[in-house]
Amino acid sequence: MYKDRALIPPERIERSILLIRGHKVMLSTDLAELYGVEPRILVQAVKRNINRFPEDFMFQLSKEEFSNLKSQIVISSWGGLRRAAPYAFTEQGVAMLSSVLRSKRAVQVNIEIMRAFVRLRRILASHADLARKLDSLEKKYDTQFKVVFDAIRELMKPPETKKRPIGFLVEEPRVRYITKTKRKS
């Protein structure tokens, strides 16, 4: 199968796919890293061919989106010193990049990225299909199975990530402090 020939691990690509403004996108910084070029080179190539990248193929993150993204990633120096926010490329925009970046690596990386988008679409479709089947089964059976259906729905929910506090806690025994009292004279 094609996984043996993968230039980049599929998990690495899938981690780079984000949901921004309701679109599954990849950032120019991540794409540049995958293609093995500097982010400014990638953006420069795109700007030379800007007519190939309409708004539904690519958009630049707002300062607020960029700041939120940096805080979610929790790396203060993410992207190094930047004058502008990165660009976000939809699946179609990533496909269009293959016509702008013509290296062999760019073509191979693009193939892997397209496969990752397809895998993601299949996973989402199977999850939606499972939810539809569960709804139809629930309508067929009476309330005695409601508990079972509720349990299955709970299992289908993505796990909640519990944020642990930063740092550590030291539990020390409580020390009683002696206070001086005024003497009666």
58 and 117 part of one domain = yes
**Residue 167 lies inside a defined structural domain of this protein:** no
Mean pLDDT along residues 126-149: 69
7 and 54 part of one domain = yes
pLDDT in tens, 98-124: 778 877 887 788 888 888 888 877 877
Assess whether pLDDT exceeds 50 at residue 3.
no
**Residue 176 lies inside a defined structural domain of this protein:** no
**Residue 181 lies inside a defined structural domain of this protein:** no
Task: Compute the distance between CA of residue 124 and CA of residue 117 in angstroms, rounded to an integer.
Answer: 11
CATH number of domain containing 93: 3.10.260
11 and 51 part of one domain = yes
- Given this model, what pLDDT does residue 76 score? 45
Radius of gyration in angstroms for the set of CA atoms belonging to the chain, rounded to a whole number: 26
Number of domains the chain contains? 2
CA distances to 47, 92, 114, 151 from 24, in Å:
22, 10, 12, 30
pTM, two decimals, is 0.58
135 and 114 part of one domain = no
pLDDT in tens, 44-69: 999 999 998 888 899 998 888 887 77
83 and 34 part of one domain = yes
Structural domain harbouring 147: 126-156
φ, ψ for residue 20 (rounded to 5)? -130, 130
Contact 24, 119 (CB under 8 A): no
54 and 42 part of one domain = yes
Mean pLDDT along residues 17-42: 86
32 and 88 part of one domain = yes
- Given this model, what pLDDT does residue 2 score? 44
Any residues with CB less than 8 A from the CB of 49 and at least 6 apart, and which?
A: 99, 100
- Given this model, what pLDDT does residue 21 score? 85
Q: Give the model's confidence band at 74: pLDDT under 50 very low, under 70 low, under 90 confident, else very high.
A: low
Place of tokens 């989402």: 124
